[in-house]
């Protein structure tokens, strides 16, 4: 135990001697949170729509105005014909085309039906489905208004009126949804890289040679590498929470002690993951590249950006081995839903087991002999 304390003290001396590193460790997370929380959003605003109005009646004007009045849409202008409108779409000047058939207004009066067409640029599938949903809802709204207008007495509304209410994030605020996830990303990057980089650096510059001839035991050495960064990452997480609470007003509904307890376990998992990688590599370059691969896969598949439920079956199976996915889930549950230990225990025990396994792996793989 004394030996571990000496190693930890040595690591801290080295970390705090590197002024640049200290700044990186404590400032980067804050910047990351500030930038990503605002930037990473799926909300669609300012959809540029172009109309092809073959009717040019009061009614068609009304429909276009309805689009124009919505916060989501930005009117680009009217195109002469369909070809011209498509060209605007191709040249990325517009995102959506609203085409209105000739005599739309007249037909609505006489035949009680008219045709409009909506064409959406679907390069980004997610955005396209949102845009088309917005467009559909505006047209539905318009529809309803006309029905009411034409039958002021006979129409008493649709039989089922749907008014959705969103729980845990009532305003469907993306920042509320993303910030707990970005906090995970932040501690993940710190945990995966710093510990491992530190170990592999000793290999690269040769200081490990002198360490290896001492009676330091494997677990003492690994613990000496893990604990300093475990402490640092916990502090980073705390800073992140403060920013989340006071800058973004994220409601932290659940218990803070529980949150820190889970973070502590999670950090053991990823720190030992990073240390394991560094025990099987010899240079910082190799270590960084392999770690980056895992970090990318883990984060993109974590459910941080896209829901795991909509991933293909095989990807969901891979996600059983993704520590980040468990923690993103737990973190959102505790922070936004106020879940207690009972609700997260399955994910928690999996993380604990994962941590134990990775810790054993990294300790065993670290060889004092070449």
Partner 1 sequence: MSININIQNLSKSFGETIALKEISLDIKPNELFGFIGPDGSGKTTLFRILTSLLLPDSGTATVDGLDAVTDYKKIRKLTGYMPGRFSLYSDLSVEENLNFYASIFNTSLEENYDLIKDIYSRIEPFKKRRVSALSGGMKQKLALSCALIHKPKLLILDEPTTGVDAVSRKEFWELLKNMQEKNITILVSTPYMDEASLCDRIALMQNGNMLAVNRPQQIIDQYERQLFEVKTENMHPLVSDLEKYNREALVYRFGEYVHVSTYNGDEREYVFALQGYLTGKGYDQVIIQKKIPVIEDCFLALMDKSQTL
Interface contacts to partner 1, rule CB under 8 A? 2-3, 6-7, 10, 13-14, 17-18, 205-210, 212-216, 368-370
Cα-based distances in Å from 156 to 42, 139, 143, 148, 360: 36, 19, 14, 8, 69
The first and second tokens of residue 347, run together, are 């994910």
Closest approach of partner 1 to the CB of residue 365, in Å: 16
CA angle (358 as vertex; 352, 362 as ends), nearest 5? 150
Closest approach of partner 1 to the CB of residue 221, in Å: 10
328/346 Cα distance (integer angstroms): 14
Scan for tokens 């559909």, then name that residue.
Answer: 136
Task: Give the residue with the Cβ less far from partner 1, 278 or 331.
Answer: 278
Closest approach of partner 1 to the CB of residue 22, in Å: 13
Strand bridging mode 96-100 / 47-53: parallel
142/87 Cα distance (integer angstroms): 28
| Residues 333 and 243: beta-carbon distance below 8 Å | no
Task: Give the residue with the Cβ less far from partner 1, 5 or 256.
Answer: 5
| Residues 358 and 273: beta-carbon distance below 8 Å | yes
Strand partners, 73: 47
The closest alpha carbon to 303, from 322, 282, 317, belongs to: 322
Closest approach of partner 1 to the CB of residue 212, in Å: 6
Task: Give the residue with the Cβ less far from partner 1, 200 or 267.
Answer: 200
Closest approach of partner 1 to the CB of residue 220, in Å: 9
Task: Give the residue with the Cβ less far from partner 1, 153 or 210.
Answer: 210
Task: Give the residue with the Cβ less far from partner 1, 27 or 211.
Answer: 211
Closest approach of partner 1 to the CB of residue 369, in Å: 6
The closest alpha carbon to 63, from 113, 99, 27, 23, belongs to: 99
49/123 Cα distance (integer angstroms): 16
Task: Give the residue with the Cβ less far from partner 1, 112 or 367.
Answer: 367
Closest approach of partner 1 to the CB of residue 232, in Å: 17
Task: Give the residue with the Cβ less far from partner 1, 18 or 43.
Answer: 18
| Residues 338 and 252: beta-carbon distance below 8 Å | no
């Amino acid at each position: 135990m004394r030996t571990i304390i000496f190693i930890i003290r040595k690591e801290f001396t080295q970390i705090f001697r590197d002024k640049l590193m200290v700044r990186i460790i404590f400032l980067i997370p804050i910047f990351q949170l500030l930038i990503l929380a605002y930037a990473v959003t799926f909300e669609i605003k300012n959809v540029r729509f172009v109309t092809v109005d073959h009717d040019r009646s009061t009614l068609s004007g009304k429909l276009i105005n309805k689009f124009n009045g919505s916060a989501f849409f930005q009117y680009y202008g009217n195109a002469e014909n369909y070809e011209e409108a498509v060209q605007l779409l191709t040249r990325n000047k517009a995102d959506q085309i609203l085409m209105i058939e000739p005599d739309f207004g007249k037909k609505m009066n006489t035949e009680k039906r008219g045709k409009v067409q909506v064409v959406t640029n679907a390069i980004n599938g997610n955005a396209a489905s949102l845009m088309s949903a917005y467009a559909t809802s505006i047209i539905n709204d318009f529809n309803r208004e006309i029905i009411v207008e034409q039958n002021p007495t006979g129409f008493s509304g649709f039989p089922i009126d749907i008014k959705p209410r969103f729980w845990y994030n009532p305003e469907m605020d993306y920042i509320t949804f993303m910030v707990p996830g970005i906090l995970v990303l932040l501690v993940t990057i710190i945990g995966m890289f710093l510990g491992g980089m530190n170990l592999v650096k000793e290999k690269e510059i040769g200081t490990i040679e002198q360490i290896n001839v001492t009676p330091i035991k494997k677990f003492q050495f690994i613990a000496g590498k893990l604990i300093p960064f475990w402490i640092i990452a916990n502090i980073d997480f705390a800073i992140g929470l403060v920013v989340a609470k006071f800058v973004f007003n994220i409601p932290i509904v659940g218990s803070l002690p529980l949150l820190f307890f889970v973070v502590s376990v999670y950090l053991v998992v990823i720190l030992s993951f990073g240390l394991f990688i560094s025990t099987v590599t010899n240079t910082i370059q190799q270590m960084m590249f392999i770690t980056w691969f895992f970090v990318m896969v883990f984060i993109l598949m974590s459910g941080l950006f896209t829901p795991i439920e909509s991933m293909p079956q095989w990807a969901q199976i891979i996600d059983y081995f993704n520590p980040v996915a468990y923690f993103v889930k737990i973190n959102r549950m505790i922070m936004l839903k106020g879940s207690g230990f009972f609700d997260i225990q399955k994910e928690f025990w999996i993380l604990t087991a994962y941590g134990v396994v990775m810790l054993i792996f990294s300790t065993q793989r670290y060889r004092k002999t070449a």
